[in-house]
Chain A
Amino acid sequence: MTFAGVGTFMTKEISLEHVWVEFGEFTAVQKANLNIAGGEFFSFLGPSGCGKTTLLRCISGFQEPTRGLVKIGGKDMKGVGPNKRPTALIFQNLALFPLRSVADNISFPLEVRGVDKKTRRKRADELLELIALPGQGDKKVSELSGGQKQRVAIARALAVEPDILLLDEPLSALDLKLRQHMRTELRAIQKQVGLTFIYITHDQGEALTMSDRIAVMNKGKIEQIGDGKTIYDHPSTSFVASFVGENNVLEGTVLTNDGKMMQIDAGLGTLFHVESHPAGGPALAPGDACQLFVRPEALKIAKSDNSLNQFETRFVTEEFEGNMRHIVLDAQGKKLKLSLINDGTHSIGASAPVKLDFAPALGIALKPGELASA
């Protein structure tokens, strides 16, 4: 697909300033502050009910924030209805009009702007060409497959040449293979038209693969904003560490912290050495309680008997996932998960103790906080 020449897209930046949304007693969004640059692919990631859709509705104009400002292209959007904003929203269920043909769906935004029928049809055909559905304009929406509907929804959103495209979990209804295919396709469309994309998802895989930056949300609060690598490798809160990707959690106490390295006692008979990395939220002082996160793929089977951060575990069970082997181990009553690439080199016995270690850079110590429920 190529979107060159589909239209002229002005990219506009968006800023949210101290946005609060309250429904009676319930606070859906609290103090959201962020700037999204023009042409950025920005994702909101969080569990369902975290307020990400409410935030999206604030940007698209279906919801007025209780407090705070929503600015698009530097202009305050207060009192500007959804039909007057330069945004186009792709709904979770796509919201294609079932009684209209594919072409009439795509040209709907032009129809309501009073564009004549011939021009509308021409534009619809152009867009159909570009979403690789040429000559399918007269079909009913119900005759299309899931992926085709998806592309029609995108074409309809692009027909008005919006400045910002908002996507509300548009891939959640598709099957796995199609979802992965659409991920690359969406990213390609965004690169080609250079539009600002704001993408809402609870699927971290989607967020990590497509986004320039991600905001992780929980209970109406933005926990962390950063690119995918930062979010995954250097989470700033316990929630982000446990929500994005899988993580093993060990409760412990900080013994020393010299600004570069920390020593942590997690009750496993070993003193863990962990880098105290700069981005990692509030600094921990000696004596503070902490949560130590080590990702399953960061854990290694110890190669020698006296490596750093080494501790002993016992084998419990194994989950086989084809390319990966996920091994559940028991470390003094704590369940830990170890992920190994299935390259045939590892053999783990059921009875013998397994010695594990991890690199100091891959352990993350954070202030104790709420964990994402599995």
Chain B
Amino acid sequence: MKIKSPTAVIPGIYLALFFAYLFGPLIIMVITAFNSSNFPRVSPWECFTTDWFGKLVADDKLIEGLGNSLLIGVGVVAVAIPIGLAAAIMLSQVGPRLRASLYTIFIAPILVPGVVIGLSTLIFWDRIGTFFNAPYESFFYDGTFLTIFGQVTFIAAYSMLVFLSRIQRFDTTLTEAALDMGATPTQAFVKVLLPFMAPAIGSATVLAFLASLENYNTTVFTIVSSSTFTTVLSSKVRYGLDPSISAVAVIIISITLIGAIIYECRNRYHSKGWSLVVAERPVLKVATHPGSVAAVLGLLAIGAVLFIQNHDSSACTAQILEDKRAIQQKLMEQQSLDTPAVTPAPTTPKLGPLGGEDTGGTSAPSPFGGNAGSIFSPENLSGSAGSTPSTSDAPTSPPSSGVGGIFAPENLTGSGAN
């Protein structure tokens, strides 16, 4: 075999690293969605499961947040796209001096931190609401309304940038020609400029919608008491993750992939070269039509949904649980052998609310997963107590300032005794 020179290999290595960096997290995220472990992780691999999708669908807060997010996304698109288009048209028509300063003004919301926009939107509309003596139920205090307006300030600027790059290639004599041929300015706009801008309007719409959907730092302030997809997700991260978040990622990645594949198929299908190839192959023509590609992908998606609904991994998870129990049992026996003084301690944690191994997925999972969760379990406390036998009475009456102590069931029982 011929050995390539190192300089020829470097681009390949670079490319591999680049793609690993780009897609590695996504791949890991997808894998974790199918691991039955309570915490999203790849290893140790427990069971192949699709339960997280079921859990996701059953999560009312998340679904409600998603609904709000979609509503806000549509609202942002409806407001931001006309504003962005108007700004781009304006910039393309004014003189160079005014253009520079207007451009800076229009672009400013992108440069302002989202947190500032969120806070100022909240305060601004609150002032106005107060000024009009509006009741708390009015739209001045409505999370959806505030979030739409807060997001529009910078998403309109994003879409303006998209429009600007397209409108710079617009030949203004076309508008003049339309006017010269008797069109009113409105007709010239609708019949000449808008069709030209259509592709940019399409991409700006997608961009605006996605930017709205994924926005967090502005939304977290403007959403007030309501919630969106991102705020629900972030609270999940804060109060305990489980792989249903990975399931969300899998769904989003699938939708993106399906969309991208159909879009690419459409582009290739309409390319000159391909239309020549399929000119005499009607079967190939039908097979490569973006519609049929979409149908195939749709069927695959439906198949995946059916599979997810019907897959049952309870036997495997039960087995895993059994194994864990056995390990724990063993550990406990080991421990009770080491510290015979504290005999009742090992039995109490099984009833405790934080005994993650017993209650399985139904309780809030600890962020450190099954085995690691045992740092909170009293076995550890008693173990450490056992290693310092001189203060053997400490674990039974721990000082109230001890943070670890609040998780310990001894405290509960102790207070119960008092």
Using a CB–CB distance below 8 Å, which chain A residues touch chain B?
60-62, 81-84, 87-89, 91-93, 95, 97, 99, 108-109, 111-113, 156-157, 159-160
Contacts and interface: CB of A to CB of B under 8 A. Distances in A.
Given A95-B171, A99-B196, A83 B177 contact: no
A112 B181 contact: yes
A87 B196 CA distance: 26
A108 B187 CA distance: 11
Contacts of A88: 180-181
Given A112-B178, A112-B184, 20 more contacts: A62-B176, A62-B179, A83-B179, A83-B182, A83-B184, A84-B182, A87-B180, A89-B176, A89-B177, A91-B173, A91-B177, A95-B173, A95-B176, A95-B177, A108-B183, A111-B191, A112-B181, A113-B182, A157-B181, A160-B181
A148 to B, nearest CB: 18
B249 interface: no
Closest 3 CB pairs of A and B: A95-B177, A109-B181, A112-B183
A82 B180 contact: yes
A120 to B, nearest CB: 13
A323 B43 CA distance: 90
Contacts of B389: none
Interface in B190-247: 191-192, 195-196
A82 B182 CA distance: 7
A109 B182 contact: yes
A160 B176 contact: no
B196 A112 contact: no
Contacts of B192: 97
Contacts of B195: 99
Contacts of B183: 83, 108-109, 112
B182 A91 contact: no
A88 B171 CA distance: 18
B176 A91 contact: yes
Nearest to B175: A95
* B interface residue count range (under 10 / 10 to 19 / 20 to 34 / 35 or more): 10 to 19
A87 B174 CA distance: 16
B173 A156 contact: no
Contacts of A89: 176-177, 180
A7 to B, nearest CB: 14
A370 to B, nearest CB: 31
Nearest to A111: B191
Given A62-B176, A111-B191, A112-B191, A93 B171 contact: yes
A109 B177 CA distance: 10
Interface string B334-369: 000000000000000000000000000000000000
A304 to B, nearest CB: 60
Contacts of A108: 178, 181, 183, 191
A61 B177 CA distance: 12
Contacts of B174: 95, 97
A111 B188 CA distance: 11
Nearest to A108: B181
A296 B150 CA distance: 75
Contact of B182 (A60, A92, A95, A112): A112
A97 B173 CA distance: 10
Nearest to A81: B179
A68 to B, nearest CB: 22
Nearest to B174: A95
B381 to A, nearest CB: 75
A83 B192 CA distance: 15
A82 B191 contact: no
Interface string B100-127: 0000000000000000000000000000
Contacts of A99: 195-196
Nearest to A168: B173
A94 to B, nearest CB: 8
Interface in B270-324: none
Contact of A60 (B171, B180, B191, B196): B180
A305 to B, nearest CB: 61
19 contacts: A62-B180, A82-B180, A83-B180, A83-B183, A91-B176, A91-B177, A92-B173, A93-B173, A95-B177, A97-B177, A99-B196, A108-B183, A109-B181, A109-B182, A112-B181, A112-B182, A112-B184, A112-B187, A113-B182
Contacts of B179: 62, 81-83
A157 B177 CA distance: 9
Nearest to B183: A112
Contacts of A97: 174, 177-178, 192
Contacts of B176: 62, 82, 89, 91, 95
B187 to A, nearest CB: 5
A113 B181 CA distance: 9
A61 B171 CA distance: 19
Contacts of B191: 108, 111-112
Contacts of B177: 89, 91, 95, 97
Contacts of B180: 60-62, 82-83, 87-89
Contacts of A91: 173, 176-177
A61 B337 CA distance: 103
